[in-house]
Every structure is written in C-alpha cells, then in structure tokens.
Structure 1
Amino acid sequence: MAANPTTRAYLAGNPPAESLALQCALDESLRSALGEGYLTRPAFLDGTVAEDLGDRLSRLYDILLSLPARLYDGDIRALAAAVGWSPLQIETVLRPDGTPRRVPRMARSDLYQEADGFKLLELNVGSPLGGFDTQLMNHAMLRHPHVAEFVAREGLDHIDTLQLLVEMWHEEFPEVDFDARPVVALVDWPDSFPTLEPRLKVMADMLDAHGIEAIPCHAGQVEDRPDGLYVHGRRIDLVHRWFVIEDLLGGDDTELAAPVLRAAEEGRVHLFAPLEVELYGSKGCLALLSDEANRQHFDAAELALVESFLPWTRMLREGKVDAPDGERVNLLDHVLAHREELVIKATASHGGLDVLAGWRTPADEWRAKAEQALGGPYIVQRRVRPMTEDFPVGDGSGRTEPVVLNWGVFLAGHGYGGSFIRGIADPEAGVVSLANGARFTTSFHTQA
C-alpha cells in the first residue's frame, strides 16, 4: 500500500467522498471534458518527488531525442523504420534527407508506483495529450470546504498545465503576437472529432481566459490558401495538432493531413507539435533504451536512469535477448513461457488500445497473438505490479478500497508539469484506462 504522510493525514480527517466526486461530476466544464467518473479524493505527491520525476523525465527525453544520432548516424527515418512506422508514415512526416526537426519538450508519462519507485510504461509526447484541463478538477475540489481547508493547512499547491502550454507557445513561436488575440486551431481527425469535440470546446473556453481565440475543428475543415490556413473563414496563426500518427493509414489520410503539414513546412502557419515528435513517444523507442544490445551507446548515469525507471521492454522480434533475470533466451519462447509476467503492446497506440495483458489472457490466445505480432510493430514488456492507494468507497460507510493509479505526470520544458491521474479498483487490471472503467482525479503536492 502506497501512502505518503499527506495522504495519511487526509484519510485520517474523515474526508468527504461521494460529495467530492459529485462536486466534479456536476461541474459543467468537467462533465463536458471528462464525463462523470471521478475518484473520491485527490492524490497527493511530495514536492521533492514531483521535482525528481520531472528531472528524470527530462533526462529520459534528452536520451530519446538523441537516438537518431546515437543509433542511426543521425537518420531519423532509420529510427522510424526500426520502431514500426510504415513507409507511408515515414514519407509523409519525415524529411527526405533524414535530418530531425526541432521538437518541443511537452510530454505526459504513464507512471505506476511499484515498491521500489515509479516505473514508466509509456511516454506520450507533443500536442495530443489528455490532461491540459486537469486544473478544472483542482478548482472543483477546492470548492469543497474540507479540501480547501486541508490544502491551506498543509501548504499544498498544484500546477496549471494549460498555463505551461501557453507559456511554451510563447517561447516556441515568438513571431506570434499573443497580445493581439491570436487564432489557434485545435485540429483533430474527422473520425475522432465527434467524440473529442466537447473536450476541445472546453479547452477553447479555457484558452479564452489567456487571450487566445481557439477553434475546435478537424483536418477536413481546414482550408489551404496562398496566405495560410483558414478554418470557418478565420485565418489561423497556430495549429495545435490533435490528430496522431496512427491516423495516417493510407493515401487518403496523407492528403487530408497535407494542408497542415505543408503550410507548417512552408512557414505559412505555426504548428504545435510536428507529427515527427510522436516518433519519440513510440513504445519501440523505450524498447531500444531497454535493449542490452544498445548499452554501449549510453553512459553509466543514463543506463542507471533507464534501468531504474523502465521495466524490461523489447521489440517482439525473432532471436535471442537477455531476459529480466539476465539469462540469454529465445524471445518468443520466453514470451510463451512467462505469459503471467508479460504484456504485449502496439508500438503506436493510445488510451490503452492494442494492449494484451498475459495474466488476463488464456494461454492459447496468448500464443496465437504473440506469434501473430512477432516481427510487427509490437513490444513485449515486463508486468509492473503497482502498489495501491486507499480511496473512500463513497457509499457513506466510511470504508476505503485499494485503487491502482496511473500517474499521468507531465514534462513541461525541463521539469514537472502537473499530473493527470486515472485510477481503477482492480489491482489485476492490465491497463488503467477509460475502457477498463477508470475514473479521474487530480493531485496536490507539498512544497519541495
């Protein structure tokens, strides 16, 4: 059971449960953005731990950005092919000469806390990140007197991740006059836009307070003119991209994305963030970091970071590898023999999709899926056994239940950028995601 002193103090104070979750569910903006499922308390993070997580994520991100140079003589196209990008995706997104673009330092991790510390299972990078609206949960919870009093008494704080995003826009795009109410298009993909649109409208409302006119739309609504991009008749200063690399599956998809990508490359619009950045969020890149075959490319401090922060991860390929215990084994044989301790994931997927947890999968199905995935864009990863935290049940009984938390800790620039947290009362869950019934909460942290 994971419980820091702040968490224990909060639980000892007979905290509200159903009323706090209801406080979030009844908030109109939160309901539009995230729905009605909320945990019964905030999570609490020690300020020094938050700083350490931000530092570790920053150092890991530096290593990821260096992979083309370290492993592929500076050719980012070779890196993309190694982690499973299709030829179409490579040709559409990456420069013909293979030189990397400059990409922003915005990412959101998926962290789970084991007995020996937090483990990074995934790193989502760039612009299409859930959690820019997390501060709405902080504000809703602070409207409850019990939470407000506790936060004040303990001297707790929270991060406004959207504010950090806006500050990053200012730094990345000095040519944009942010004093003149710039127009930002929040551009999603036609297939996912009906689902995401309510959340993007909430984001637009939040950006309005920052003096920014934001327009939710999808790529099919973007009009390419000689002087720039337009949406609903408004000329766009900056595109915040919400569509992802998995959306580019065929020629029609590349044509749909072309106006945004072409205008950004020609300097007719500012783009946050280029699709190229998603390469560094590929789970295949985590496999490259974890693979013993690449150890000689990293120094001792980098290896220590990788080994302490990442669970054992390998591309699902033919051949031999070092198993988690150090034994040299045939990878497929190891995967089939240790189903209960492994998970198979697509290298590029979001929201817990394309994840197969061995301990929740019958042996015959596991074998079939592993053999089918072998040599494709898939990784195999050691099962992480997260510690749970106690949360009030919320039925008026005063009871608590153990909840597994997925800590969506943000990297903003070079440090901690807030936490977007999902939790589920199922310690055996293969992944903590909305598809598995996860609920949301936010965090407050102590002063470092």
Structure 2
Amino acid sequence: MPTQTGSGPAEIATVPAISEADARIERQLCEFATSDSALIWETQDELSSAIAEAGMHFEGRAYPVCLRPLAIDCDLANHLSATAEGVIKLLDVAAELYCCNEEVQSLFPSYKDLGHWITCLPQYRPIVRICRLDGLFGSDGYYKILETNTEGPGGVIQNGLAAKVWSRIPNPLAHGLALDVSKQPFAKDPNCFVRELVSAYHAATGSELRTAAVVNFRGRYTNEVEWIVSGLRDVGVEAALLDITAMKRTPRGLVGPDGEIIDLVYNKLDVREIAKYIETGEYLDACAAQEVVSINPWISQWILSDKAILAVLSDDRFASNFNAKQVELIARHIPWTRLVRAGVTTNPERRRIELIGYIRENKANLVLKPSNATRGEHVLVGHLTPSEVWEEHIDRAARNPYVVQEYIRPGEVTALHLPSRSIKKMAYGIDCYVFGGRFAGFQSRASFDAVMNVGRSGILMPVAVAGG
C-alpha cells in the first residue's frame, strides 16, 4: 500500500502496492484457475443467484457482481475518500468560474446556447449532491480522476446492496481474511442515497420533503429507478417515475399528472438529447428557475459531467481561482486534459506546445474522448489505435467536442469474468461515490477492454477494507 509521508491523506506519494489481503486473494484465484475451479464457479453462481433474487439488474440484464473482491487497506480507503471529497469542492469553484469566465465557457461549445438554464446556480453547496468519480492509479502512485459522472450515475443504491449480499455468501477466496464492506456508508445503510435526497431538499428549502419524482425521457436510463422510488416511499415521501412530458409548470410550481406539486426531482436523463425537444422546455425552465429542487442541477448535468471540466481543472490558466491546497490536489489527482482544437497550450510538463501537432507526435501516451459521450463511446487509446485511425480522429476531434487526455495505464487483477465464465487477468479501476459532499462508497470495475464499462461486458468487484 502507499506509504504515508505526512499527516494528511493527500500525502500518499508512492505507487500503491496491492494489499496483503488482495495479494492472497490473487494467489488463491490463480491456483483455482490452474486446477479445479468448480468450487469457485459454484460459489459464484450462488452469489449471482442471490443478487438476482434481491432484485438487482443492469437494464434488465444480470448485475455482474464478481465473487472476487478488491481488498484495499484502511489507509488507502481513507486517502481515496478524502481525495473524492476534495474534488467535489473543486467542482463548486469550477461551476462558479464557468458562469463568469468566457475562456472557460469556450471549452464547452456544445452548450453555448443553454446558458439561461446552466448558469442559474442553487444557493446550497456542494452544487453536486450525487456523483461518482471514476479513476485509476497513475505511474506516480496518485489516484487519477478520469470522469466526474455528476449527472445521474449508476450504482448509487445497487452497489451498496450488492456489497451486503456479497458479504453474506461463504467465500473461499475470503476465508481467513478480515474483509469489511460496512466501512462504506451506502453498504452500511442501503437508504444512504435516499437520505441524501431528503437532506438536499431540506438544505435548499428548510422544509421537509413530501413529494418527489424520478424523471426520465422516452424511457431511457431507468436502471435503479425502482429502487429509488421505493426507497423514497419507505421514508414517507410520495414518489413516482415520471417522463418529462408528464409534468407541467404552473404558478404554484411544477406539478405531476395528478395536479399535485412536486417538491424534488431526481434526473435520470440523456442530457445530450433533452434540450433538442420543444416538449422538454417547461421542465428545463422550471428546474433552472428553482421552482422545484433539481438533483443534480443543470450545470452538473451538462458542464460538470463533461470531460472538458478536467481541462478547466488541469490548465494552469485557471489555477489562480483555486487555493493552494486545491492546486496541489489538482496536480496530483487530475490528469492533463485539453479540449482538442488548434492553438498553443502547455503539455503535462508545462512546456508550450501546438496542441494538434502534439497529439500527432505523442499517440502512445494519449487518449482521445468525445467530451460529452457516455459508456466509453468512441474512446480511442493511442497505443492501441492504428496510426491512420488516430490521424482520422484528430481531424474529427478538431471539428467536434473532443478532449485529449494523458493515458493512465490501468492496473490488472485476476478475476472471474462472468460473461465468458473464465478466470483471467483484467484491467481494473476504482470509483468513489460522493453524496452531499461526503464519501458514500466504492465501486471497482474490471474488463478485458481498455475502456472499462459494465455495459461493455465488464464486471463489478465488491470493494472491501482489509483489516479494518
């Protein structure tokens, strides 16, 4: 594990070695892979059945929770949670900066006509009430945030539930190890997410939450919705899943199909599409005018979830807007990122470069990503991409909102790949959920694909704190 060289969690500075508990799990799984793996797959099937019986799924498909946990030590768990909470404060600064700085606004060309919705910031802080920060460990040993997921991230309830179910299954891989998932608030309390929605409403209004709607558009992004609605009802809130078009803006406020005022909305939307449709205008207006408490607000849905927000954080041009501790946090945990466009900028070593030429000459160390796509769509990892395809995408990226980012090589673990029923090495990452500015839990994804995503045959590994 990383060594502690100072008093705070930000002082961890060496490459994180695997924990002793995880090293033992790794060895055991490798032994099963080369001998008789029947026991492991029998136990995996028991876990998968328990997950399904608990009602968890991924858009109607099996929720791919692996028997193999990722075991991290207590120091690393504390470090990651403190880092994640610090990044949420960075996003508050970035949101306010977007509202007043034209240079920052120019990094988000897709939203130039949406400012009347985006720049109406709520009074409460943090602005981002629910998010998942996705990351990997860099070669310098620091955890790197690759995506912010400040719109309506998946796993906010099911990952905590899955961790609890996993902890109840007798597991030959965890035999003799002290592995604790309950250090994570959303595993200790499955209603942690719902309680944050209630808390967010109280923070915004000073009143108790009575009515809420989980909102989607044309039936997309409904995963976990049933858990959210039932969770709200369990704490005494009248809640329903509603399409944007089922609500109306009135002088009394936003109302549902029964005419009752809706106090709070939680957005499960494809934010790239909704602004294109006339029928979504009233809802967008009502949320922006704060006639209903909207979690998360539009600046989170569009700007703070766009990958170009990392270009704001990692560019020295904007460093003076952050305090000294925040500048240090950015230097350690935000990878070098730039919006792809012709012009002069600085490289990761802070030397002046012409960006397009730099991208051409440094393919092996870079990744190209659409700035506002999801689930790894159209991401190109330079060292895995043929030169002619890379050249073609540089031209495309210069005409469309793309970012270029330094390549962070993922670590590898041996895990059970459920779709192929094989035990193999896979790339993995670790993600941090933050609710109301406070750490809520971990997620670890693993995949054969360089772009890790559960929607692309990836798996989920429960994260457990070893010896905690």
TM range (shorter): 0.7 to 0.9
Of 159, 164, 167, which aligns to 2:192?
Answer: 164
Whole-Å Cα distance in 2 between the matches of residues 317 and 100 of structure 1?
Answer: 32
Residue 246 (structure 1) aligned with residue 266 (structure 2): no
SS in 2 for 1:3: coil
Paired residues of 1:32 and 1:202 also in contact (CA < 8 A) = no
Question: What is the alpha-carbon distance in structure 2 between the residues aligned to residue 293 and residue 112 of structure 1?
Answer: 25
1:284 lines up with 2:308 in the alignment: yes
* Contact preservation (8 Å) 1:183, 1:212: yes
Please say if 1:205 is aligned against 2:230.
Answer: yes
Which of the residues 215, 219, 222 maps onto 2:244?
A: 219
Specify the code of the residue in structure 2 equivalent to 1:186. V
Contact 1:238 1:271 in 2 (8 A): yes
Q: Distance in 2 between matches of 1:393 and 1:127?
A: 27
- 1:44-71 Cα offsets, whole Å, 9 max, x none, are 23232222222222222222321365x5
How far apart are residue 305 of structure 1 and its match?
Answer: 1.6
Whether 1:82 aligns to 2:96 is no
Task: Tell me if the contact between 1:317 and 1:331 (Cα under 8 Å) persists in the aligned partners.
Answer: yes
Q: Check 1:145–1:378 CA distance in 2 against 1; reply closer, same or farther (3 A cut).
A: same
Residue 73 of structure 2 corresponds to residue 46 of structure 1: yes
Q: Secondary structure at the match of 1:57?
A: helix
Separation in 2 of the partners of 1:228 and 1:147?
Answer: 55
Partner AA of 1:220 in structure 2? T
CA distance in 1, matches of 2:377, 2:459: 17
User: How far 1:75 moved relative to its partner?
Assistant: 1.4
Q: Which amino acid aligns with 2:265?
A: V
1:28-427 correspondence to structure 2 within 5 Å: 28=53, 29-31=55-57, 35-36=61-62, 37-67=64-94, 75=100, 79-95=104-120, 102=124, 103-115=127-139, 116-146=141-171, 153-161=178-186, 163-174=191-202, 175-178=206-209, 182-190=210-218, 193-194=219-220, 196-197=221-222, 199-233=224-258, 235=260, 236-250=262-276, 253=277, 255-265=278-288, 268-278=291-301, 279-374=303-398, 376-392=400-416, 400-426=423-449
CA distance in 2, matches of 1:351, 1:151: 37
The answer to whether the 8 Å contact 1:410/1:419 transfers is yes
Shift in alpha-carbon separation, 1:441–1:154, aligned structure 2, 3 A? closer
Q: Indicate conservation of the 8 Å contact 1:238/1:269, yes or no.
A: yes
Instruction: Output the CA distance in 2 between the equivalents of 1:326 and 1:76.
Output: 22
Q: 2:25, 2:173 within 8 Å by CA — same for their partners in 1?
A: no
Alpha-carbon distance change, 58 to 156 in structure 1, aligned in 2, over 3 angstroms? closer
* Distance apart, 1:106 and its partner CA: 2.7
Amino acid at match of 1:383: Y
The structure-2 alpha-carbon separation of the partners of 1:374 and 1:266, relative to structure 1 and needing over 3 Å to count, comes to closer
Deviates more, 1:372-381 or 1:230-239: 230-239
| Whole-Å separation in 2 of the counterparts to 1:245 and 1:392 | 34
In the TM superposition, what is the alpha-carbon distance from 1:168 to its structure 2 partner? 2.2
Deviation at 1:219, TM superposition (A): 1.2
- RMSD of Structure 2 on Structure 1 (CA): 3.4
Aligned-pair CA distance for 1:266: 5.3
DSSP-derived class of the 1:88 partner: coil
The range that moved more, 226-235 or 349-358, is 226-235
Secondary structure class of the residue paired with 1:124: coil
Match of 1:434 among 454, 458, 465: 454
Q: Shift in Å at residue 108 of structure 1?
A: 0.7
Pair 436,303 (structure 1): closer, same or farther in 2 beyond 3 Å: same
Judged with a 3 Å threshold, the aligned counterparts in structure 2 of structure 1 residues 118 and 2 are, in CA distance, closer, same or farther, namely same
Look up the SS of the partner of 1:157 in the other structure. coil
Q: Deviations over 1:151-204 (max 9, x none)?
A: 9844552424353322322332225535xxx332110121xx25x335312333
Q: Secondary structure at the match of 1:421?
A: strand
What are structure 2's unaligned runs of at least 5 residues? 1-15, 33-38
> Deviation at 1:129?
4.3
Letter in 1 for 2:147: E
Letter in 2 for 1:403: M
Distance in 2, Cα, partners of 1:404 & 1:93: 36
Is the contact made by 2:88 and 2:437 (CA closer than 8 Å) also made in structure 1?
no
Distance in 2 of aligned mates of 1:299 and 1:226:
42
- The structural deviation recorded for 1:364 is 1.7
For the residue of structure 2 that corresponds to 1:311, the secondary structure is coil
The structural deviation recorded for 1:404 is 1.6
Contact between 1:18 and 1:394, CA under 8 Å: does it hold in 2? Answer: no
Conserved 8 A contact 1:40-1:393: no
**Distance in structure 1 (CA, Å) of the matches to 2:58 and 2:455:** 18
Find the residue that maps to 2:452 and give its secondary structure. coil
Q: Give 1:383 deviation, angstroms.
A: 0.9
Sort the Cα spacing of 1:212 and 1:42 in 2 relative to 1 into closer, same or farther, 3 A.
farther
AA aligned to 1:258 is G
Tell me the residue number matched to 2:23: 8
* Greater shift in the superposed pair: 146-155 or 166-175: 146-155
Q: 1:218-248: per-residue Cα shift (whole Å, max 9, x none)?
A: 2123244443444453733321111243124
- For 2:320 and 2:128, how far apart are their aligned partners in 1? 27
Number of residue equivalences: 430
Cα distance in 2 for residues equivalent to 1:198 and 1:386: 27
